């Protein structure tokens, strides 16, 4: 039995449009799992249902063997951090973190010990007396995390906590959150719409699409084995070709009807013919290319089929626009996917 079990979760706000469509999901104790998906797919609704902030239309939620479907928020033992910094503005860092413990009527000495530990955990020593307005967004979010973990919740829920924070600091905070989570072994559900963030953070990713779980798995498995067009587009920027397009590249090969996904970095290109019997090879023309830092992304054309190839930025691999190139793809890198 899993630590958290979502069983047949359905939710609609207006009784008509289903926001969550019969979701079954297991989360193991101590894992950090991510709900990944585009805006509006139901990530927050699912998270808020677990917290008790949203009532589900049907289904059952089990936490640590207990049916919590109808339990009030404060009895669920769940800590939550949101995208917007929701600190008490009139309280300093220490007071913000201590708030929940005071409400729980813990004694002063215990409170001050726990608060100190939580402050250490998120690297905010020296900021105890600062007010939220005196802190950066990243620091405020660390206070919010400390305020949640100091309560020693059974589950920590993080709803796009880093979305408002700029890229460089975001990397640091991703690492920070991961470290805290591993140290405390606290079961955590992290919500993001950012593929890279999900890859970096997660033990497991659950990819959501319009109220369903499209695919679940370890980050590398999702990246290398998308099951559908949606997953291939969302996670690896795959080339997606149907049978007829694939046959324009490879007229001599037999493919079944349906769709195929090819990851750009598995599309090899070179200036001379490729001599490798194990590879599918064909010719194409470079339409254009862009440099994304250490990676060059070529848009190639073969007949009227466009596709991309990504290669590490090494000077000898530069091809000009309009140049003919030879393309090689290993057969196992052409994945059959569903529509
Ligand atoms: P996500 O977090 O993945 O962006 P949400 O769970 O917030 O998605 O929303 C899922 C869908 O439910 C969206 O179409 C959204 O417009 C709708 N929705 C969310 N909250 C409410 C609400 N309180 N009333 C009506 N519709 C809502
Ligand atoms: Mg949301």
CB 261 within 8 A of CB 337: yes
- Residue 54 Cα to ligand 1 midpoint, Å, equals 11
Ligand 1 atom nearest to 208, measured from its CA: 3
Structure-token match 């289903």, residue found: 18
| 12 DSSP β-pair partners | 18
Neighbours of 53 (CB within 10 A): 15
- The domain 238-337: what is its CATH number? 2.40.50.100
* pLDDT beyond 90 at 317: no
Whether the predicted model's global pTM rises above the 0.95 cut: no
φ, ψ for residue 141 (rounded to 5)? -70, -30
Which pLDDT band, with edges at 50, 70 and 90, does 258 fall under? very high
Reported as a single tens digit per residue, the pLDDT across 261-306 is 999 999 999 999 999 889 999 999 999 999 888 899 999 999 999 9
* Ligand found nearest the CA of 84: 2
CATH of domain 4-234: 3.40.50.300
pLDDT tens by residue, 35-78: 999 999 999 999 999 999 999 999 999 999 999 999 999 999 99
Give pLDDT tens digits for 70-105. Answer: 999 999 999 999 888 789 999 999 999 999 999 999
Return residues with CB closer than 5 A to ligand 2 (ion): 44
Q: What is the DSSP letter of 254?
A: -
Q: Tell me what the pLDDT averaged over the chain comes to.
A: 95
pLDDT value of residue 316: 58
Please determine whether the domains at 4-234 and 238-337 fall in the same fold group of CATH: no
Name the token pair of 118: 């939580």
DSSP secondary structure, 36-71, as one string: E--TTSSHHHHHHHHHTSS--SEEEEEETTEE-TT-
Domain segments of the chain as ranges = 4-234, 238-337
Ligand that lies nearest to the alpha carbon of residue 163, given by its number in the listed order: 2
How many angstroms is it from 320 CA to the middle of ligand 2?
Answer: 43
Please give the share of the chain, as a percent, with pLDDT higher than 70: 99
Is residue 315 within 8 A of residue 270, CB to CB? The reply is no
Across the strands, what pairs with 336? Answer: 260
Q: Report the alpha-carbon distance of residue 302 to residue 322 in Å, rounded.
A: 12
């Amino acid at each position: 039995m899993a630590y958290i079990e979502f069983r047949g979760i359905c939710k609609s706000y207006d009784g008509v449009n289903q926001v969550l469509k019969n979701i079954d999901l297991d989360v193991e104790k101590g894992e950090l799992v991510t709900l990944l998906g585009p805006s509006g797919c139901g990530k927050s609704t699912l998270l808020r249902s677990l917290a008790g902030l949203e009532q589900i239309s049907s289904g059952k939620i089990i936490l640590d063997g207990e049916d919590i479907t109808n339990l009030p928020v404060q009895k669920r033992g769940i800590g939550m951090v949101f995208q917007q910094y929701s600190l008490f503005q009139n309280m300093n860092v220490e007071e913000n973190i201590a708030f929940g413990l005071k409400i729980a009527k813990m004694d002063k000495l215990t409170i001050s010990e726990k608060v100190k530990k939580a402050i250490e955990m998120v690297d905010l020593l020296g900021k105890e007396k600062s007010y939220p307005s005196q802190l950066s967004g990243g620091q405020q979010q660390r206070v919010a995390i400390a305020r949640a973990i100091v309560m020693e919740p059974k589950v920590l829920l993080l709803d796009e906590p880093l979305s408002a924070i700029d890229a460089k600091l975001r990397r640091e905070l991703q690492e920070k959150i991961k470290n805290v989570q591993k140290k405390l072994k606290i079961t955590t559900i992290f919500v993001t719409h950012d593929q890279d963030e999900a890859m970096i953070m997660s033990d497991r990713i659950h990819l959501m699409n319009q109220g369903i779980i499209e695919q679940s798995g370890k980050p590398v498995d999702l990246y290398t084995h998308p099951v559908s067009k949606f997953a291939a587009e969302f996670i690896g920027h795959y080339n997606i070709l149907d049978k007829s397009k694939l046959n324009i590249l490879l007229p001599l090969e037999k493919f079944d009807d349906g769709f195929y996904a090819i990851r750009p970095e598995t599309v090899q290109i070179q200036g001379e013919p490729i001599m490798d019997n194990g590879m599918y090879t064909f010719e194409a023309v470079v339409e254009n290319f862009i440099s994304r830092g250490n990676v060059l992304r070529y848009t190639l054309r073969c007949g009227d089929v466009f596709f991309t190839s990504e290669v590490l930025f090494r000077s000898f691999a530069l091809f000009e626009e309009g140049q003919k190139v030879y393309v090689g793809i290993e057969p196992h890198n052409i994945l059959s996917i569903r529509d």
